[in-house]
Amino acid sequence: MPDSIAETAERAAVADLRAFLGGAWHLERDLEDRRAATRGRLAGRAVFAPEGAVPAAALRYRETGELAFAGHRGAFYRVYLYRFPRPGRAEVAFDDGRPFHDLDLARGAWAAVHRCGADLYEGRFAATGADAWRAVWRVTGPRKDLVLTSRYRRLGTGS
């Protein structure tokens, strides 16, 4: 997969990933199903916050909003758990605790790989400023050929 983030985006080094991610973000995601020649869009919010039984050094990621894709329009949500074994690195898990991928933006960019059965998820991440970052996932498999491009922009207080 071409590293379009590395080729086109400025990178901002992130020393403390937990502090960088914490809070509320405006989220826009473009979805492309290359096999079905279908495009879609998702818009909403992503919030990284300590909550309930989440360990003090972890943040729960919760995204919500509106999805329009392949004739479907409706609400969406996704939840992950981000654990921070050291300031610049996160271990990302699904909400049920299964491991997903690592994230380290100390140099401003990161690549991750996750296998899910026969499907391969290849992620590219970049901090593009003090209040912005981007993630691109390429998903391939026997019945999948997707590109998911997410852009995050920090929401101000009271947003």
Q: CATH number, domain at 60?
A: 2.40.128.20
Domain annotation covers residue 91: yes
C-alpha to C-alpha distance for 123 and 41, rounded to whole angstroms: 18
pTM, two decimal places:
0.89
Phi first, then psi: give them for residue 5, nearest 5 degrees. Answer: -65, -50
pLDDT of residue 158 exceeding 70, the answer is no
Domain annotation covers residue 89: yes
Domain annotation covers residue 54: yes
Strand order in the sheet with 144-154: 99-104, 89-94, 72-86, 58-69, 38-49, 23-33, 144-154, 132-141, 119-129, 109-116
Domain of residue 32 covers 4-154
C-alpha to C-alpha distance for 17 and 110, rounded to whole angstroms: 12
Total structural domains in the chain? 1
What's the pLDDT tens digit per position in 10-44? 789 999 999 999 999 999 999 999 999 999 999 99
Domain annotation covers residue 159: no
In the chain, pLDDT over 70 holds for what percent of residues?
89
Domain annotation covers residue 36: yes
CB 61 within 8 A of CB 72: no
pLDDT of residue 52 exceeding 70, the answer is no
**Band (105; pLDDT cuts 50, 70, 90):** very high
